Amino acid sequence: MNALSTLGLAASSIIERPLRSLLTSLGIVIGVAAVYAMLALGEGAKKQVEESLNSIGTRTMQVWPDWNRGRSSQTRPSMPFTEEDIREMRAINGVFAATGTLTGRGYTIATDISDVNGNFLGVDPDQLKASGGEMKLGENISFADIETRRPVVVISEGIQQRLFDGQNPIGQTVKVNNVAFTIKGVASKPDSNISFGNDDLFAWAPITVARERVIGGNRFVQNHVSNIMVVGDIGQNLNSIEEEVNTILRRSRDLKVGAPPDYRIFSSRGWQEQAAEETKALSFLLAAMGAISLLVGGVGVMNIMLVSVTERTREIGLRMALGAKKSNIMNQFLTEALLLCILSGIVGLTLGFFMSKLAMDTMDVELVFSPSVALISFGSALMIGVVFGFLPARRAASLNPIEALRHE
């Protein structure tokens, strides 16, 4: 008896009892559908979290002076950061960008015919990378601009719209505090995770020019910057970078061991990671629910197969008398259970795909068709077939033909 005729035997046995086969398969269909839908949902959520973890905002830490110092408390005010700090941070392993910004808010940026209130910032070339913006026209601020103190400026699309009516402004002049800047480029506004609200009016000038000619210096340190942004490479552990940033800052401001820092580091990484953990837990929970329904389906299969073996005891006895070996009988019943589970698995997979599509549409999660998820849920159906088909098949194979033939 070859594999093909065993398969034919199993198939005809399933077809000969259509209602029973249908009811038996229902448990597996639902189980596989649930496992698939749950896993796919979990994958979708995981992907979403991963994307947000890889987004520039999540990879960014911002370093600000501790504003609480020097006011009500008896502590000395925060020391400003310097360009030297930034240079050191840029050299940390795994840092994608490190930039210092000199902020000057509420400046009037004017042409000859109109003006607008916006954020005027002193920056270095890394600012664009770190803020997730991109050049739309012209060129970014360069290190040469900073060195040679060239009065150039990159404006945001918002300013381009307001002052130049969306026309190409490269080479034109704008005035900030009566200092004339030549427009060098137009950039998109920063990632909203980093920018100050939804404001889209920005003008970025070389940090040296901004400090010396518009915003003004600091009486404590030279080359001061208002705040620092450090962005890690994708997949980089931000904690180790934060440690090195701390080391650099503590050294540059000569903090004693154990002394509290006079600056604060902000990062959204923490709660993003927590979200990832929660998603993982959720996916696990969902998959466990699917697995339980699959298990229940499997018990259903075993139950029906046991009934089937009892009901067909005489048939088994007859087949044995006519020359069927134990292995033939075993294969017959195992194949039957397996075939039932395969068919149910196919139906369940299709059902699960549409279920997860529906769920993701309503939950606004991107549908991910993951072959591994399909493979896992289909594989579990196969496993159920083997595991829960085994006991009934073994029982069938171990029947004594004489007693089986006499079975009423």
Q: Which residues form the interface with other proteins (CB under 8 A)? A: 1-2, 5, 9, 16, 314-315, 317-328, 401-402, 405
Query: 354: burial class by Cβ within 10 Å (0-12, 13-18, 19+)?
Result: exposed
For other proteins, give the closer residue by CB, 1 or 368. 1
Q: Tokens in use for 96?
A: 């994608």
Phi, psi of 135 (to 5 degrees): -75, 130
40 Cβ neighbours under 8 A, 6+ residues apart:
352, 353, 356, 360, 367, 368, 369, 370, 373
Burial profile 37-48: b = 16 or more Cβ within 10 angstroms, e = fewer: bbbbbbbbbbeb
CB of 401 to other proteins, least distance (A): 5
For other proteins, give the closer residue by CB, 250 or 314. 314
Query: Do 305 and 393 contact (CB within 8 A), yes or no?
Result: yes
Residue 32: C-alpha distances to residues 92, 112, 281, 393 (Å): 48, 70, 20, 23
For other proteins, give the closer residue by CB, 114 or 310. 310
CB of 332 to other proteins, least distance (A): 10
CB of 300 to other proteins, least distance (A): 23
For other proteins, give the closer residue by CB, 291 or 318. 318
CA distance 403 to 323: 16
For other proteins, give the closer residue by CB, 189 or 319. 319
For other proteins, give the closer residue by CB, 101 or 308. 308
CB of 1 to other proteins, least distance (A): 6
CB of 319 to other proteins, least distance (A): 7
CA distance 65 to 265: 9
- Give the residue among 40, 41, 28 at the shortest CA–CA distance from 372: 40
CB of 294 to other proteins, least distance (A): 31
